[in-house]
A = this chain, B = another copy of it.
């Protein structure tokens, strides 16, 4: 069995945390050929999506894909975002959340992490090259398997 990444678990956890605290969860996404989003809101190959209960319907946060319906400028859209394309999830109100390194190839398409369960603390310093989501209020640390949370 191939190991499932921790990423979708953290995304769901922070979605719940935002919701329970009355915050508005926002998703910063790297847009490529695998994402289905309204292109007119894309800037620098990124889009920020409000995924709160009020702003979406039929939200599904799976291990591979995040899907929901939402209205943009009054028009309904079906949104599909691979988990691999998510740059960050955070509360709009205070910017608290988590960001993720996302690598992409020369075509601008996101490359899946090789193996998120990899034992060596090696392959990812992608953090440094990673675009910062709006309102992300932190310097990124180096890669580590165990993360310190206050």
A residues lining the B interface (CB < 8 Å): 1, 3-4, 6-7, 9-10, 12-14, 16-17, 20-22, 88, 90, 94-101, 113, 116-119, 121, 123-124, 126-127, 130, 136-150
Contact = CB atoms under 8 A, between A and B. Distances in A.
A6 B14 contact: yes
B141 A147 contact: yes
A32 to B, nearest CB: 19
Contact of A101 (B1, B4, B150): B150
A138 B150 contact: no
A146 B140 contact: yes
A7 B145 CA distance: 16
A60 to B, nearest CB: 16
A126 to B, nearest CB: 8
B140 A117 contact: no
